[in-house]
Amino acid sequence: MSAKLRYVVGIDLGTTNCGLAFAQAEGLDPRELPPVLQFEIPQLVNPGEVRDETLLPSSLYLQGPADFPEGSLALPWDANPPFVVGHLAKTRGAEAPRRLVASAKSWLCHSGVDRTSAILPTAPPEGTPRLSPVEASRHYLEHLRNAWTSSQPDAPFDEQQLLVTVPASFDAVARELTARAAAEAGLKNVVLLEEPQAAFYAWIERHPDWRERVHVGDLILVVDIGGGTTDFSLIAVTERDGELQLERVAVGEHILLGGDNMDLALARFIEQELAEKGKKLDQFQLHALWQNCRVAKEKLLEEGVKGDEHPVTILGKGTGVVGGTIKAKLRRADMERILLDGFFPQVSSEEMPMRQRRVALQEVGLPYAADAAVTRHMARFLRQQAAASEHGVLRRGTSGLVAPTHVLFNGGVLRAGLVRERLLATLNSWLAAEGFESIAALEGEDLMHAVSRGAAYYGLARQGRGVRIRGGIPRTYYVGIETAMPAVPGMPAPLKALTVAQFGMEEGTQSAIAQQEFGLLVGEPAEFRFFSSALRKDDPPGSLLEEVSGELEELAPMEVTLPADGDAGHLITVTLETVITETGQLQLWCVARDGRRWKLEFNVRERVAS
């Protein structure tokens, strides 16, 4: 271990907040599990006031020349930062939303835009610079890096083992861009980890007696609802050689539905009330109201708060006293009705998310879920996993619904007791209809910090100091190899199938097929054909099937033009290497004799169909 590599550090790069947790990685008995600690992040909370907070709001404010007094934005590591990041950015952005960059993570996974282009904020004041989602993410990570290094100069951030979390449903491009943002922020030794898995690792870390709380055959549903996304995952409790094992067996689709949607619904409700009183808001006032409703909602949902309402203030359209301000209130009864009826309605497990007829021309924006009902998305996840999964460990009801035994909640939205209670009531009504007992909630974790804490614990588990969740791939995967035979008119060349990844291959592992060489076409468009099989579980990597039989299911073909480096249109002799990443991507590397490497990548996770 490097002399400077003293810690494992978990980074929750969240849509709404970022968190940082760490654990000692050296100098201890290897059998000892060191505690996971939360790192307090220094940040501006007011002009000229820096304070340590356990969370860094994922907000970046593009200040104008007269926004703040000179010298009032100084940080311990930067006397004149180019942007405001964190708490002050969030509060000032609520007043001037056109200068606020928020939800960069949601934009990072939006395949409908160029995620590397400067598109944020979407409607800034004239002359204001814009940032790409990658750049915004980089600035959050740079803030975390600088905050750590300024307080731990003898253990530089980029020298530690860093675990950065991503949604389970991030596509390959979003993961690649997250890794790119980390690299541009100067981070090294970075491993990506799924957020729902991180949340479960945090629960294990808090409960050393976890083997007494869950048993073989149990199935844990992880429900993760954050500021911008909703994720579902399933973790099965299995047994191997007499030892309890944890296996992640299913991951849902990426659902752009979270606290942001709920805050906007509250803002729209208040906007309608104001309109009835003759007070019409423009687009920018509505955006400010949206931000203020988030603050009001969080205050009303705080543990122990008794108040029935919270004030909401919106700046007027003019300047000074003439413009005035608009005052309103968010009432608890209205908030609870909008949240429960609009986002968490009690529905049957047969009700699927509704599809809306879409307008042909639309503003460029985030592709939010058409149906706001989280419970309907949850029903689809459990029903379609039952239909699609080959895992025998999934407990099913008579109708085919997957029937979890436990649920683990994660994400800021689920801090609200009324939301957790509604989800439990809905799940229990589904289970009762299938003849199963009620689901048990796994309690005892801080929902706002679980992801960063769990990521740090995972770093320890990678060193053999904790429990790892297995996530072996559920199928065997093959790539098509064109047979070297003379051309026959009207008939394509026969295709063989080369095994590149065997059923059960663990994530975070790799396999080299060095005993065979193949010709790789570079410099012009070429098609790669991939196949999978849930039936053939014993084909080791490198085994060659002489024909593509009915036991193999063809995946969508991949057409790419691989860089040629002067060999356009030629066949380069290569061997193959397979890597299954920590986040469920199969990387097939083609390695030339001179060391050149080409990468193909696709997802091997079980998912709900869209």
Q: What is the pLDDT of residue 491?
A: 65
Question: Residue 387: enclosing H or E segment and its boundaries?
Answer: helix 374-388
Q: Which residue has the tokens 């009705």?
A: 337
- Among 148, 163, 193, give the residue marking a domain's end: 193
Distances (CA, A) of 606 to 4, 250, 390: 39, 5, 9
Residue 440 counted as domain residue: yes
Is residue 215 within 8 Å of 406, Cβ to Cβ?
no
**Do 273 and 145 fall within a single domain?**
no
Residue 444 counted as domain residue: yes
CA atoms of 220 and 207, how far apart (whole Å): 15
- 323 phi and psi, to 5 degrees? -65, -35
pLDDT confidence bin for 242, thresholds 50/70/90: confident
Is residue 286 within 8 Å of 266, Cβ to Cβ?
no
Q: Which residue has the tokens 């003759």?
A: 278
Residue 15 counted as domain residue: yes
Average pLDDT, the chain: 87
User: Among 601, 602, 599, 603, which residue's Cα sits nearest to residue 522?
Assistant: 599
Distances (CA, A) of 266 to 165, 190, 252, 289, 295: 29, 38, 27, 9, 11
Q: What is the pLDDT of residue 607?
A: 45
pLDDT confidence bin for 390, thresholds 50/70/90: very low
Residues of the chain with pLDDT > 70, as a percent, come to 90
The average pLDDT across 338-356 equals 93
**Do 18 and 157 fall within a single domain?**
yes
Q: State the Rg of the chain over Cα.
A: 26
- Among 166, 193, 220, give the residue marking a domain's end: 193
Domain holding 264: CATH number? Answer: 3.90.640.10
Report CA 441 to chain centroid distance, whole Å: 22
Domain holding 236: CATH number? Answer: 3.30.420.40
Q: The sheet that has 553-554: what strands, in order across it? A: 544-545, 495-501, 476-482, 530-533, 553-554
Lowest mean pLDDT among 128-132, 154-158, 276-280, 462-466: 462-466
CA atoms of 439 and 425, how far apart (whole Å): 9
pLDDT confidence bin for 50, thresholds 50/70/90: very high
**Do 248 and 378 fall within a single domain?**
yes
Per-residue pLDDT of 365-381, as tens digits, reads 566 688 999 999 999 99
Q: How many CA atoms are closer than 13 Å to the CA of 565, on its beta-carbon side?
A: 8
> What stretches of 387-542 adopt beta strand conformation (E)?
406-410, 440-441, 469-470, 476-482, 495-501, 509-521, 526-528, 530-533
Q: What is the pLDDT of residue 508?
A: 77
Is residue 518 within 8 Å of 481, Cβ to Cβ?
yes
Sequence-distant (6+) residues with CB within 8 A of 3 are none
**Do 38 and 154 fall within a single domain?**
yes
CA atoms of 122 and 118, how far apart (whole Å): 9
Is residue 523 within 8 Å of 570, Cβ to Cβ?
yes
Domain total for the chain?
4
Residue 291 counted as domain residue: yes
**Do 222 and 297 fall within a single domain?**
no
pLDDT confidence bin for 322, thresholds 50/70/90: very low
Q: What is the pLDDT of residue 285?
A: 85
Sequence-distant (6+) residues with CB within 8 A of 324 are 316, 318
Q: What tokens does 593 get?
A: 């004799």
Sign of CA dihedral 254, 260, 264, 266: positive
Cis peptide before 133 (omega within 30 of 0): no
Per-residue pLDDT of 164-202, as tens digits, reads 999 877 777 788 899 999 999 999 889 888 888 899 999
**456: three-class secondary structure by DSSP:** helix
CB atoms under 10 Å from CB of 110, counted, come to 19
**141: three-class secondary structure by DSSP:** helix
**Do 188 and 227 fall within a single domain?**
no
Sequence-distant (6+) residues with CB within 8 A of 490 are none
**Do 131 and 12 fall within a single domain?**
yes
Lowest mean pLDDT among 221-225, 535-539, 574-578: 535-539
Is residue 323 within 8 Å of 317, Cβ to Cβ?
yes
- Among 285, 308, 343, give the residue marking a domain's end: 343
Residue 352 counted as domain residue: no
Residue 167 counted as domain residue: yes
User: Among 138, 156, 148, 151, which residue's Cα sits nearest to residue 101?
Assistant: 138
**Do 318 and 333 fall within a single domain?**
yes
Residue 292's identity, in one-letter code, is: N
**Do 289 and 236 fall within a single domain?**
no
**Do 411 and 436 fall within a single domain?**
yes
**Do 68 and 134 fall within a single domain?**
yes
**Do 189 and 112 fall within a single domain?**
yes
Is residue 260 within 8 Å of 382, Cβ to Cβ?
no
Length of the chain: 610
CA atoms of 400 and 183, how far apart (whole Å): 44
Residue 570 counted as domain residue: yes
CB atoms under 10 Å from CB of 313, counted, come to 14
Residue 363 counted as domain residue: no
Q: Is 428 exposed, middle or buried (0-12, 13-18, 19+ CB in 10 A)?
A: middle
Q: Look at strands 219-225 and 406-410 and give their pairing.
A: parallel
Per-residue pLDDT of 553-586, as tens digits, reads 888 788 888 888 777 778 899 999 999 887 667 8
**514: three-class secondary structure by DSSP:** strand
Is residue 11 within 8 Å of 18, Cβ to Cβ?
yes
Question: Residue 541: enclosing H or E segment and its boundaries?
Answer: none
Q: Provide the residue range defining the domain that includes 138.
A: 7-193
